[in-house]
Structure 1
């Protein structure tokens, strides 16, 4: 169900009208629904009941401390891609022992921090990274738990910027090189090989590519076992898509069905070749947990008619929400308090000094200056990709819980942006 709905002619977050939130916290503001967040995570949790499985939330989608805290309370693990994200997990009360560290460019300092905090596993993406991690662990008197991120060369059929499983992508160890890389990993004295990882891309709307990738991982795991390399977990990554509402888009497979087919394939393999012996399964969902939990509320500053286009100029911009500019992503836009009258077709644009500063194109809206708009399904890759371009402070963030609203990130002001700068004397 949607936790953003019209009540008495006004768009609400759960049971709170968005105009009340805008009045209290200003605009632009990210507004999240706690109920939606817990419902989305619950779909994964319920699908994994009775199994040795761990859902590691991919923090790059939305790393607000309150989001991390709520998910940690529900038993989530975390997928991180930086030392900073690990410190966020710890600050929010998450468990480093349920945290996996992905990414192609882990620094020595990040490896040291992760080993000190006792993370679950490093997802290693190259042979040079194996050697660096072995050296760091050796100097610390530790053994680092590792899995290899294997690139299966499977086309995720998604936007090229969020496809990660092809030979042309920077991620992972090529499938043809994986066996030799595992041999190298097992030869290094300060590494403990514990698993295998794969992530082929984001915004996957059907499970065929993921099942294809899973079959290749199964083949590799069985080959490794013949060489005495036994893996304890299989990390199938994330990437399950969400419905952004674009006309003609194929809706994503529900999470329960998606995971059900994955588990069925894994169970058949384990029963046929391993006497039913289970293997721990790890997932790394991000977008599918937080995307539809949030909207970006923005106010119309001006309506500017033109010979070829009409522009609806709002106080949110590409620095607040980068997805449309970066990925040409379609985001739903709804009037918070719809008006009667004839709609005009507008491009929704911000005040940034770039022609690429747009949030939506060719939308039919019956609006006036001062009206509020909600950019829908904005909970993922919104605030985490925000910037301070044009010396614009980043938006406030709030979480709605029924009839209550909690400020979980204050709006930045210009003085905040100057704080780390200094002039030459």
Structure 2
């Protein structure tokens, strides 16, 4: 469910008409719905059917401060993958005791920052990282709580580039090494080994692979306990998918969450561990849109290009993942209006700057507004200044109110990042 709907022929974000935002803030602009964020978080939490689950929102999906503050007020923790994300989570009011630190390439400086901040756990992904973290924590007189991320050799996801649990993927320690490394960690001076973690991919719409991975982790826990090791935590990661096509059956909506909760409860029954979860796209994806404006309609004999002011630097998912986003006109189409086929493209000097080809849309003209739906996850957070284009603004809506949570970058700010060599 989302809160972007037509009212009196005009698309609104909650109670805010989008043309008013375009006039006030310009385009392109990301717009997030507080009501949608809150609903998705609570529906996920309640579907688990668990007492006090540890929910660590994946900051990489959308690190906007307003988004993080909204979720922090609901009790969300943060799954982070860099010092910058840890700092952003702390700035949003998420306490260190609800922050986990994941990722395969944590630097010594980042580990030191995490240890000194007193975060809940580090999800260790290699033996080398384990050695470095022990050294860093011991030097500060601390034993850092950690879980060992295991690659279960079960991969899943909506695209090869977002599948993370296969044997060929870079994430986690190998399944065959998990027991040895756990035993080694139990005797390291700067480490307080607490349990295991797993994350096999993103945009997962079927539960078979997740269940297989979770059962493999349960098997390791039972073996470790039989060997005399304490195991108190199991971090099950994230990865559940969302609908990108609103007209499709909503079989991967609330029903998927209820089935997921039932599966988790069945797999972990009697295991007596603290369960952690790392949803990201699931919370933020349908809570955001990208508002853009038509610049030109370039008619060819066999093609019709709809050139808009948003580009692949603003929303890279279609270029990177061949991702699908619904495109809605801000002005509601008249009933019975015949659609036209468009290639929707941006201004960047690459053919890859194409959002979709031969998409049937209502007839559009220069100046018309449109939105990309389901752009709240991996949209603004992956944006760049490619072609020296400005980072776009981000807005959080709550009812009839809105706040600019990241102003549009200025050219002075863009140029101010550069420094001229002293010999020129």
Contact 1:246 1:331 in 2 (8 A): no
Contact 1:205 1:253 in 2 (8 A): no
CA drift of 1:414 comes to 1.5
Once the two structures are superposed, the pairs formed by residues 1-400 of structure 1 within 5 Å of their partners are: 1-48=1-48, 51-245=51-245, 251-254=251-254, 255-267=257-269, 270=270, 278-340=272-334, 341-365=337-361, 366-400=363-397
Give me the whole-angstrom Cα distance separating, in 1, the residues matched to 2:247 and 2:385: 32
CA drift of 1:157 comes to 4.8
- Deviation string, structure 1 residues 27-82 (Cα, Å, up to 9, x no partner): 00001110000000011222346524210000000001111111111100110000
How many matched pairs? 417
**Distance of aligned partners of 1:240 and 1:132 in 2 relative to their CA distance in 1, 3 Å threshold:** same
- Deviation string, structure 1 residues 254-311 (Cα, Å, up to 9, x no partner): 32331222113212xx1xxx6xxx2110000000000000100000000001233211
CA drift of 1:396 comes to 0.6
Aligned twin of 1:411: 408
TM-score (norm 1): 0.95
Give me the whole-angstrom Cα distance separating, in 2, the residues matched to 1:119 and 1:163: 27
Q: Which moved more, 1:251-260 or 1:170-179?
A: 251-260
In structure 1, stretches of 5+ residues that fail to align are none
Give me the whole-angstrom Cα distance separating, in 1, the residues matched to 2:397 and 2:230: 46
Give me the whole-angstrom Cα distance separating, in 2, the residues matched to 1:265 and 1:94: 30
Contact 2:243 2:253 in 1 (8 A): no
- Deviation string, structure 1 residues 92-147 (Cα, Å, up to 9, x no partner): 11111111100001011101110111000000000000001011111111111111
Structure 1 ranges of 4+ moved more than 6 A: 246-250
Q: Which moved more, 1:80-89 or 1:301-310?
A: 301-310
Equivalent position SS for 2:244: coil
**Distance of aligned partners of 1:250 and 1:361 in 2 relative to their CA distance in 1, 3 Å threshold:** farther
Equivalent position SS for 1:282: strand
Contact 1:61 1:290 in 2 (8 A): yes
Q: Which moved more, 1:186-195 or 1:332-341?
A: 332-341
Give me the whole-angstrom Cα distance separating, in 2, the residues matched to 1:160 and 1:175: 20
CA drift of 1:195 comes to 1.5
- Deviation string, structure 1 residues 348-397 (Cα, Å, up to 9, x no partner): 10000111001222211211110001100000000000000011111111
Give me the whole-angstrom Cα distance separating, in 1, the residues matched to 2:358 and 2:325: 12
Give me the whole-angstrom Cα distance separating, in 2, the residues matched to 1:232 and 1:133: 20
CA drift of 1:182 comes to 1.1
